[in-house]
Amino acid sequence: MGFTGEYGVYHSVYDDFYWMKHFGDPAFIYHAALARILGTIALRLDESDVLPYDYLAYASQITRAQESLASRMAQVGEEPGAMKPVVQAVAEFSSSAAQAARTLQGLSIASLDPAIAKQINRALEGVDQALLAPQGLTGRPWYKHTIFAPGSYAGYEAELLPGVSEAIDRNDPATLQHEADSLAAALHRAAARLDEVARLAQQSPSAGAAANR
């Protein structure tokens, strides 16, 4: 996270502490503001009985990325069949995220059993971990996340659905199929974790109490 704006000295000999102190942010107001934002987020995560992860928003971003890849494939004449398992897995992940969000919203935190809250949090933590591919991305196995990775050709920019995206860029059908299958498997694993979140939340007595109010 950070603030953006005009920054004409970037990567020049003037890009130093002196410039920041005298011209960029002399009173370090933006620095302090960002520190407060980061601190508030850390406290929000630390002090929540149930982790405030928004996997529904995550699913929406993945859906947009998948639709963008489908458009790119059409533009370069790639066969769309390789993406079929991804499309199905994205839909499953989105459905599971929506169900988990509904059940979590129905919880009464005040009466939530701490033991169940701990199980829910473990399951929530496991969703993103499920999106890791054990074998890593093709050509760079040290990057294992199937949703985000630094772009091989994008400098600082992150690449969404990197394995599939870069296989399309390279016009490599075999790698495209492999990465699409790997991405689909990861999304299925993550959806199963979200289903576990929903199951645990539904089992909590506080869910029924909240529903009856």
For 24-44, what is each residue's pLDDT tens digit? Answer: 999 999 999 999 999 999 999
Whether residues 124 and 168 fall in one domain: yes
Say which residue the tokens 């502490």 belong to: 17
Domain limits for position 43: 1-47
Q: Is the pLDDT of residue 207 over 70?
A: no
User: What tokens appear for 213 in the block?
Assistant: 């109010």
Task: Give the whole-angstrom CA distance, residue 32 versus residue 21.
Answer: 13
Neighbours of 138 (CB within 10 A): 20
Bin 97: left if φ > 0, else alpha if -120 < ψ < 50, else beta: alpha
Q: Is the pLDDT of residue 185 over 50?
A: yes
Please state, rounded to an integer, the average pLDDT across all residues of the chain. Answer: 91
Supply the DSSP symbol for 109: G
CB neighbour list of residue 35: distance below 8 Å, 6 or more residues apart: none
Choosing from 11, 28, 47, the residue where a domain stops is: 47
Whether residues 37 and 70 fall in one domain: no
- Total number of domains constituting the chain: 2
Supply the pLDDT for residue 213. 47
| Global confidence as pTM | 0.86
Whether residues 83 and 185 fall in one domain: yes
Whether residues 31 and 132 fall in one domain: no
